[in-house]
C-alpha cells in the first residue's frame, strides 16, 4: 500500500479506499432520504469508519453530529432531539442505548466493532449486530450511485460537554473556499502539523479538537493513525511502530505517561517525533516542564473553544520564557480580558477572557438557542467561560472557569491553582477542587482526590501538601478520597456532578 493511509489497530486502508467508501456512504444516505442540510448522528468509538462516515455525510451536504457514546438517558435523548438527527450510524453494542434515547424512529446503520475496539474496551463476543437494522458493510455493498458534492462541505456539529446546563450543539456556517484555505493554514500553525508528517490521534473523535485533527488530516492527504482508546504504553509503542512525527493530546495523557516507570520512559523510542501539541484542559506547569524535559522542546500548546477554534498558541521556548501561559494570539485573532463592570482589565489583572477568532472563522449559533449565542458576545469577542489575565508581552494565562471560582470570606480562590499543586503530589492520579457552602465564610474548599491505593495517602497528607506550597486560606476544609471522578476522555472534569451533593 502506497501513499497516505488511515489506520486503527490492526487495520489500514489507503486514503483513496477510504474516500471511495465515503462516496458510497453519501449515496446510501441519499437513498435513506437524507438531504443536504440534514444532521446525521455518529454514535461510535474511534475507528476508521468514524472518519469515513463523517466525510460521507459531508459529501452529501449533510452535517455530521458526533455523539459522546458515554452519554445515556436524558443526556443522549436531548442530543438526538435537539440536533433533529434524521439518521444515525451506531456501533452495534450501543444500538439498544441509542434506541432508548430516540423519541422518534430514524434510519440506523449498525457498525460492527473492529477487533481492536473489542480488545481496547473488552467487549464481549455478543457485541455483534442486532439484525434490526442494516449493517454497514452489507449496506455499503449495495451502494453504486454517486452524489453531487457541494462546493463547501459542512462542519461537524459538536455538542459541548455540558459542564453547566444541557449540552449545546454548535452549528457553524459552511466554510467558503477562501475560508477553508485560511483555516488550513491556521490549523497547521496551531497544531504544529505539516503535510508530510505522520500524525497520531489518541483522543475520542466525538470531541472538537481530535475530530478536527483527524478529518482535516485526511482531507489534507496526511497519513493518520487513530488509537481506539488511549493507553500510555500503547501510545509510546505506536509512535515507535509507525514512526509517528506528530500527535495531539490532552494534559491527562501527560500525567498518565509520566506515571509510567522511569525505565519504560527512558527506553521509549521517540526519535521520530517532531511535534506534540496539547489543548482542551489546563496543564499543571510542573507536568508540562517534565514533559519538555522528557520529549524535548517539541511540546506545543494552543487555547480556544469549540465555538472559536484555536485563538492563542505557544511553543516550548515561549512557554519556558512565560511559564504557565497558554500562548499569545495567532495571526488575525485577538484576546481581551474584561472586568465585571464591562471595562478592560489592566495588564496582570484577572477577568473574564473574550476571544476574537478573526474573519476566516465561520460564524455559528447554538441549535435552538440564538439568545445564548448572543449572550456570550461582547464587541465581536466571544467568552467561553474562562477567567484569566494578559501579561505585558500579550501572553494569556488562565486562572479558572468563571463559574468555578470560589469566594471565601470575600477572597477569590481559583481551584485550578490548587488542582495543579495537588497533581504534583506522588500518588495523586486525579483531583477536583470546588466550593461548598460554609456558614461562616460563605464558601469553603473541598477536594475530591483519586489516589493510588499503594501510595497510602491520607486526607491530612493532601492538606499538608497544599499548606506547604500555597497560602493557608487555600488549604481545603473537606478532603475525600474518590476513585471515580467523572472526567471526560477529553480531560474535562464534570465538577458539577460532584459538587451537586454539597449544594441544596
Interval 91-109: pLDDT, tens: 999 999 999 999 999 999 9
Enumerate long-range contacts of 143-149, CB under 8 Å, 24 or more apart. Answer: 143/24, 143/25, 143/27, 143/28, 143/31, 144/24, 144/27, 145/27, 145/30, 145/31, 146/23, 146/26, 146/27, 147/23, 147/26, 147/27, 147/30, 147/59, 147/60, 149/59, 149/61
Q: Structural domain of residue 343, as residue ranges?
A: 188-401
pLDDT of residue 407: 80
Confidence class of residue 186 from pLDDT cuts 50, 70 and 90? confident
pLDDT of residue 496: 78
Would 161 be classed as within a structural domain? Answer: no
- Domain CATH for 74: 3.40.50.12780
φ and ψ at residue 213, rounded to 5 degrees: -55, -55
- 467 shares a domain with 373: no
Mean pLDDT of the chain, nearest integer: 91
Would 143 be classed as within a structural domain? Answer: yes
| Secondary structure class of 135 (helix, strand, coil) | strand
Closest residue by Cα to residue 85 from 23, 142, 159, 140 = 159
pLDDT surpassing 60 at residue 163: no
Residue with grid cell 470570606, as numbered in its chain: 409
Closest residue by Cα to residue 250 from 308, 292, 210, 286 = 210
- 192 shares a domain with 248: yes
Residue 337 · residue 353 · CB < 8 Å = yes
CA distance 22 to 140: 10
Compute the C-alpha angle 160/163/169, nearest 5°: 20
Confidence class of residue 459 from pLDDT cuts 50, 70 and 90? very high
- 257 shares a domain with 285: yes
How many domains does the chain fold into? 3
Would 347 be classed as within a structural domain? Answer: yes
Domain end, chosen from 368, 401, 434, is at 401
Residues in the chain: 504
All three cell numbers of 324, joined, read 504557565
φ and ψ at residue 109, rounded to 5 degrees: -115, 125
Would 378 be classed as within a structural domain? Answer: yes
φ and ψ at residue 116, rounded to 5 degrees: -65, -40
pLDDT of residue 489: 67
Would 296 be classed as within a structural domain? Answer: yes
Domain end, chosen from 401, 428, 458, is at 401
Compute the C-alpha angle 274/279/285, nearest 5°: 85
Would 176 be classed as within a structural domain? Answer: no
CA distance 424 to 282: 14
pLDDT surpassing 60 at residue 25: yes
Closest residue by Cα to residue 89 from 118, 129, 143 = 129
Residue 113 · residue 92 · CB < 8 Å = yes
Q: For the chain, give percent helix, strand, coil, nearest 5.
A: 35, 25, 40
Residue 107 · residue 132 · CB < 8 Å = no
pLDDT of residue 1: 61
- 253 shares a domain with 396: yes
CA distance 263 to 286: 20
- 443 shares a domain with 384: no
Q: How far is CA 340 from CA 96, 392, 411, 418, in A?
A: 47, 21, 16, 24
- Domain CATH for 433: 3.30.300.30
- 416 shares a domain with 380: no
- 229 shares a domain with 327: yes
pLDDT tens readout for residues 311-330 = 999 999 999 999 999 999 99
Cβ contacts of residue 182 below 8 Å, gap of 6+? 332, 360
Among 83-97, 151-165, 182-196, 429-443, the range with the most confident prediction by mean pLDDT is: 83-97
Would 172 be classed as within a structural domain? Answer: no
- 434 shares a domain with 335: no
3-state secondary structure 442-491: EEEEEEEEEECHHHCCCHHHHHHHHHHHCCHHHCCCEEEECCCCCECCCC
Residue 242 · residue 198 · CB < 8 Å = yes
Confidence class of residue 362 from pLDDT cuts 50, 70 and 90? confident
Domain end, chosen from 342, 377, 401, is at 401
pLDDT of residue 491: 64
- 435 shares a domain with 394: no
- 338 shares a domain with 268: yes
Confidence class of residue 265 from pLDDT cuts 50, 70 and 90? very high
DSSP 50: H
Confidence class of residue 162 from pLDDT cuts 50, 70 and 90? low
- 220 shares a domain with 140: no
Exposure on the CB side of residue 483, measured as CA atoms within 13 A: 6
pLDDT of residue 215: 94
CA distance 473 to 409: 10
309-314 and 328-329 as β-strands: parallel, antiparallel, unpaired?
Answer: antiparallel
Amino acid at each position: 500500500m502506497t501513499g497516505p493511509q488511515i489506520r486503527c489497530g490492526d487495520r489500514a486502508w489507503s486514503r483513496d479506499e477510504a474516500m471511495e467508501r465515503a462516496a458510497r456512504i453519501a449515496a446510501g444516505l441519499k437513498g435513506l432520504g437524507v438531504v443536504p442540510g440534514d444532521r446525521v448522528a455518529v454514535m461510535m468509538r474511534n475507528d476508521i469508519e468514524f472518519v469515513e462516515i463523517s466525510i460521507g455525510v459531508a459529501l452529501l451536504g449533510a452535517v455530521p453530529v458526533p455523539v459522546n457514546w458515554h452519554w445515556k438517558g436524558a443526556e443522549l435523548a436531548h442530543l438526538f432531539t435537539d440536533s433533529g438527527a434524521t439518521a444515525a450510524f451506531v456501533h452495534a453494542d450501543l444500538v439498544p442505548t441509542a434506541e432508548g434515547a430516540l423519541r422518534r424512529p430514524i434510519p440506523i446503520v449498525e457498525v460492527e466493532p473492529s477487533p481492536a475496539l473489542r480488545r481496547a474496551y473488552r467487549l464481549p463476543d455478543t457485541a455483534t449486530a442486532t439484525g434490526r437494522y442494516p449493517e454497514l458493510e452489507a449496506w455499503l455493498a449495495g451502494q453504486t450511485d454517486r452524489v453531487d458534492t457541494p462546493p463547501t462541505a459542512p462542519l461537524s456539529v459538536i455538542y459541548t460537554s455540558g459542564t453547566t446546563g444541557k449540552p449545546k450543539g454548535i452549528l457553524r456556517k459552511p466554510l467558503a473556499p477562501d475560508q477553508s484555505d485560511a483555516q488550513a493554514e491556521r490549523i497547521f500553525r496551531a497544531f504544529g502539523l505539516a503535510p508530510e508528517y505522520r500524525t497520531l490521534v489518541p483522543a475520542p473523535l466525538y470531541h472538537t479538537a481530535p475530530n478536527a485533527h483527524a478529518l482535516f488530516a485526511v482531507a489534507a492527504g496526511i497519513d493518520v493513525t487513530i488509537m481506539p482508546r488511549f493507553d500510555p504504553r500503547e501510545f509510546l509503542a505506536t509512535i515507535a511502530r509507525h514512526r509517528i512525527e506528530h500527535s495531539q493530546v490532552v494534559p491527562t495523557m501527560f500525567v498518565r505517561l509520566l506515571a509510567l516507570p522511569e525505565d519504560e520512559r527512558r527506553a521509549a523510542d521517540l526519535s521520530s517525533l517532531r511535534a506534540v501539541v496539547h489543548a482542551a484542559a489546563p496543564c499543571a506547569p510542573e507536568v508540562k516542564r517534565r514533559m519538555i524535559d522528557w520529549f524535548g522542546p517539541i511540546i506545543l500548546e494552543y487555547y480556544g473553544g469549540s465555538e472559536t477554534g484555536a485563538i492563542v498558541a505557544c511553543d516550548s521556548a515561549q512557554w519556558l520564557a512565560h511559564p504557565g501561559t497558554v500562548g499569545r494570539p495567532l495571526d488575525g485573532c485577538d484576546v481581551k480580558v474584561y472586568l465585571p463592570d464591562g471595562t478592560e482589565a489592566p495588564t496582570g489583572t484577572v477577568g473574564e477572557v473574550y476571544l476574537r477568532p478573526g474573519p476566516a472563522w465561520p460564524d455559528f449559533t447554538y441549535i435552538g438557542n440564538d439568545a445564548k449565542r448572543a449572550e456570550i458576545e461582547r464587541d465581536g469577542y466571544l467568552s467561553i467561560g474562562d477567567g484569566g489575565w494578559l501579561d505585558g508581552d500579550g501572553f494569556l494565562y488562565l486562572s479558572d472557569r468563571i463559574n468555578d471560582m470560589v469566594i471565601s470570606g470575600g477572597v477569590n480562590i481559583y481551584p485550578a491553582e490548587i488542582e495543579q499543586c495537588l497533581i504534583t503530589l506522588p500518588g495523586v492520579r486525579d483531583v477536583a477542587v470546588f466550593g461548598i457552602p460554609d456558614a461562616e465564610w460563605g464558601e469553603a474548599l473541598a477536594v475530591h482526590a483519586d489516589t493510588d491505593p499503594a501510595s497510602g495517602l491520607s486526607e491530612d497528607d493532601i492538606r499538608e501538601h497544599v499548606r506547604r506550597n500555597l497560602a493557608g486560606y487555600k488549604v481545603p476544609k473537606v478532603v475525600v478520597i474518590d476513585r471515580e471522578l467523572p472526567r471526560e476522555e477529553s480531560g474535562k472534569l464534570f465538577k458539577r456532578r460532584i459538587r451537586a451533593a454539597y449544594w441544596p
